[in-house]
Amino acid sequence: MSWIEKDAAALTDALAAGEVTSVELTQAHLDRIAAVDGGERGVHAFLHVDAEGALTQAAESDARRAAGTPLSALDGVPIAVKDVLATTGLPTTCGSKILEGWVPPYDATVVARLKAAGLPILGKTNMDEFAMGSSTEHSAYGPTRNPWDLDRIPGGSGGGSAAAVASYEAPLALGTDTGGSIRQPGAVTGTVGVKPTYGAVSRYGLVALANSLDQVGPVTRTVLDSALLHEVIAGHDPRDSTSIDQPVPDVVAAARQGAAGDLTGVKVGVIAELAGEGWQDGVMARFRESVDAMVAAGAEVVEVSCPSFVHAMAAYYLILPAEASSNLAKFDAMRYGLRVLPEGVDSPSAEEVMRATRDAGFGDEVKRRIILGTYALSSGYYDAYYGQAQKVRTLISRDFEAAFEQVDVLLSPTAPTTAFKLGEKLDDPLAMYLNDLATIPANLAGVPGISVPCGLAEEDGLPVGLQILAPALADDRVYRVGAAAETLLTKALGGPLLDRAPTLTETGAGA
């Protein structure tokens, strides 16, 4: 097995044992990126690759290892960062033309923590513009391709991060999850993604889509790797007033405990509302098998009803556009980003420049959501739409509370279908929105969730994800049960699911 195929936990051991250097590891991943990311048929997970910076950081890491002063267990393990997180010295575009070439003068707290832990940053990953989408097709810089089938979507908005780890371009990546943007890409690329409890990870330096929903989290190939990364990025940050000022649960210990595959005494609930019409047969079949395997491993399973979940999508598509339309008002062509002058106007006003800039700089989906949010917040409709959505949010939280009185964790498939074809839903917003049916409730209620691979759908041979949700602050539970599910699947398959992905042909065009 080559270095790029090893998981981060194995790499930390190899680095500690002196079997490999960080420079070697970082170069191996840069070579992989150069081989499979670029060109017409490349994965296109990266918007920007920082070979020089990553190798410099790797050399510094090797010097620390040699001196016996590593900064963390993950010191020297390279990582990819979603392009919605501010990085000093590296462009941060959020997949938008309006921020093309913008280089932030500060680091997001999570990025500062990666640096403080010694992880070389390989580059910035592709995403739907301002994280609005479920396929990365709304990136202004072209879509990312799913390594399982290059004609299919890698999920979104964090399809770049998921595709990067799925195609062995990076062992670790950071994503952000506002309505499923870590978990759904994880599901459709056969990788692991975690949305921590709201406030568990700092949002400082995360370019906000919807402040009350956004959360940064790990994107990896194994549950333990996610836990190792979670440990690095989580914890209180005085620069984020919504950050939780409490100790981080021991997610690494939970992942190690779960990896034994024993679920004796764990009560799991299957969410009744997340099934039925619109749910692909092969997805449901793999999901039911996973639940059966968990029962065989000692879990007790019950069906749980969360009746308000049927309104989650409507609530989400009112709350999110409302928050997004306010957040994106900052792109006013004055302080950073694009400035476009309107055509045929002498001495245009600031407002005319702002209107022309936002027309040129924003893509269709961003325009749709800004206008939708402006509508939802306008005086005549506020109570009927936005006010109702906030109340439904309360009902969804109550559903979770009632459910977690009965069970330890809740289960559902992560997404209703496997990866669809590029272009298939691009101009059908509603069809696109339905991908996040199962992941949205967790964001509305702030609870943590994980997606772990649970097999391949029979009809198309594409990955299916199992979603595990836990009560707020009980992030350790999603790691314990997630690791157990992973162990059970690996046993059933005789190896990791990702081993079944087709070998990528080298496109050789560079990133």
Beta bridge mates, 411: 270, 468
Give the span between the Cα atoms of 121 and 221, in whole angstroms: 18
| 273 φ, ψ (degrees, to nearest 5) | -75, -20
Query: Within positions 339 to 368, which residues make up the interface with other proteins, using CB under 8 A?
Result: 339, 342, 347-356, 358-359, 362, 364, 367-368
Contact between 115 and other proteins per CB under 8 A? no
Judged by CB under 8 A, the chain residues 203 through 222 that form the site for other proteins are 212-213
For residue 82, indicate whether it is catalytic: yes
- Number of amino acids touching other proteins (CB under 8 A): 77
Q: Based on CB atoms, which residue is closest to other proteins, 80 or 315?
A: 315
Let me know if 378 is a catalytic residue: no
Residues 222-241 that bind other proteins (CB under 8 A): 238, 241
Q: How far is the CB of 30 from other proteins (least distance, A)?
A: 27
Contact pick of 317, 404, 420, 479 for other proteins (by CB under 8 A) = 317
Q: Verify whether residue 157 is a known catalytic residue.
A: yes
Q: What is the CA radius of gyration of the chain?
A: 22
Q: Distance (Å, rounded) from C-alpha 268 to C-alpha 100? A: 45
Q: Write down the least CB distance from residue 246 to other proteins, Å.
A: 11
Q: Which of 3, 22, 320 is nearest to 181 (CA)?
A: 320
Contacts of 411 (CB under 8 A, 6+ apart): 268, 269, 270, 271, 287, 290, 291, 294, 466, 467, 468, 469
Rounded CA-CA distance 268/403 in Å is: 10
Which listed residue (181, 202, 243, 290) is catalytic? 181
State the nearest-atom distance from the C-beta of 197 to other proteins, in Å.
8
**Rounded distance between C-alpha atoms, residue 161 and residue 124, angstroms:** 9
Counting contacts by CB under 8 A, is residue 10 touching other proteins?
Answer: no
506 Cβ neighbours under 8 A, 6+ residues apart:
35, 36
CA-to-CA separations, 164 to 37, 132, 185, 191, in angstroms, rounded = 9, 19, 11, 10
Tokens read off for 423: 């272009």
Q: How many angstroms separate the CA atoms of 242 and 309, rounded?
A: 25
The residue type at 26: T
CB of 349 to other proteins, least distance (A): 6
- Whether the CB-CB separation of 26 and 62 falls below 8 Å is answered with no
DSSP state of 248: P
Q: How far is the CB of 176 from other proteins (least distance, A)?
A: 15
Query: From the CB of 401, what's the least distance to other proteins, in Å?
Result: 12
Q: Which of residues 81-110 bind other proteins (CB under 8 A)?
A: 102-106
Residue 306 interacts with other proteins (CB under 8 A): yes or no: no
Over the window 384 to 423, marking each residue x when it contacts other proteins by CB under 8 A and - when it does not, the resulting string is: xx-xxxxxxxxx-x--------------------------
Given candidates 51, 336, 424, 496, which one binds other proteins under the rule CB under 8 A? 336
Quick check: 335 binds other proteins (CB under 8 A)?
A: yes
Residue 458 found at the interface with other proteins (CB under 8 A): no
Nearest CB to other proteins, comparing residues 53 and 348? 348
Which are the catalytic amino acids? Answer: 82, 157, 181
